[in-house]
Structure 1
């Protein structure tokens, strides 16, 4: 399932976006990963989500003016949490809420603006950083994705499973260097997901005040 997730995330580069502070009211769409599994998203000032034994993503494109973004900040809240899991384990790696940043080399970005899932699946140029609230890992730990092509995606643990409200600020360039080496290319897509299907649990969460820098 996570292989499909990575592919669906990559299609964010074909979708509309907002420059500067990121709006959750416009330009976001849900991508189902299963015919029988879907989260419930509400879009507005914040993106709120209920995940009941399910998994899916909501995604948007980053406008070309923000392709050079190297930092991000946001606030998020979890009112009901999945159990703590091992985010490095293929299957059983549920997490409350994740925010994904999708990068491709600057030279490649223009040619991929109209790409679809089939053309991007397994694309070696795509790199994905996922910031996660969930699991049982130390803050800042970089966890290689157990799904999809090796070296294409990582999870950066920010909050362990549990409830509460927090504000985050991340250095995308530094985390990219730790995860993949070198400098990030163009930030072309964003996505938010909740994942409760493996533990058959319930998530109630929201994210807002997302800004790129």
Structure 2
């Protein structure tokens, strides 16, 4: 099943800024469970259908964009999971999450060819995840219940539900709030939809991610 393109249905346009990352090339799906997979439609935008499933779409960030400290995108949800707690491991379904993967500058070049599983297994990696889903207040930071403590943080942007919105985030400020200090190199981006715990259906779309 394929989803209508984001450009055709999003009413709120994301302001144009430098260095957009479209979904037309360089993205791949990474399954998180052997028999569970979302349906991603890759193009200038990303269509997502998740039917009782979970997986990631991910890409490496070009070296020239490793220094990005802000990001913006537009997203739309037409069918939503129920509200969950994003702090609950194994019960944290959400419509869409956008992940920003950082490594220290000194380690980024050595890991340039690593896949997403290798990156997620690297103790030096730090991950900020912005989520549409759950029952949390906007801006609330939730430590990730997955992976080593202190490696990942979720920031709630939208509670579970439908609609169309544009977002603009300060990666440097959120990194400092989550981990302290300043971010290293932004080496990867990922997008997920998660409906397996509630056995529900997500229909969503995400516009190109603008980095600056």
State TM-score, norm by structure 1. Answer: 0.89
Matches within 5 A, 1:1-213: 20-116=19-115, 119-120=118-119, 122-213=121-212
- 1:45 is displaced (CA, Å) by 1.8
- 1:119 is displaced (CA, Å) by 4.7
- 1:33 is displaced (CA, Å) by 1.4
- 1:120 is displaced (CA, Å) by 4.1
CA distance in 1, matches of 2:45, 2:151: 29
CA distance in 2, matches of 1:121, 1:99: 15
| 8 Å contact kept, 2:58–2:116 | no
Listed as ranges, the gaps of 5+ residues in structure 2 are 1-17
- 1:209 is displaced (CA, Å) by 3.4
CA distance in 1, matches of 2:203, 2:117: 31
Listed as ranges, the gaps of 5+ residues in structure 1 are 1-18
State TM-score, norm by structure 2. Answer: 0.89
Aligned length: 195
CA distance in 1, matches of 2:116, 2:165: 33
CA distance in 2, matches of 1:35, 1:166: 33
Give secondary structure in 2 for the equivalent of 1:75: strand
Distance 1:48 1:167, change over 3 A: same
- Once the two structures are superposed, residues 115-160 of structure 1 have per-residue CA deviations (whole angstroms, 9 ceiling, x without a partner) of 3466545322100000000000010111000111000001000000
Give secondary structure in 2 for the equivalent of 1:107: helix
CA distance in 1, matches of 2:134, 2:118: 32
Distance 1:120 1:209, change over 3 A: closer
CA distance in 2, matches of 1:134, 1:84: 6
- 1:210 is displaced (CA, Å) by 1.6
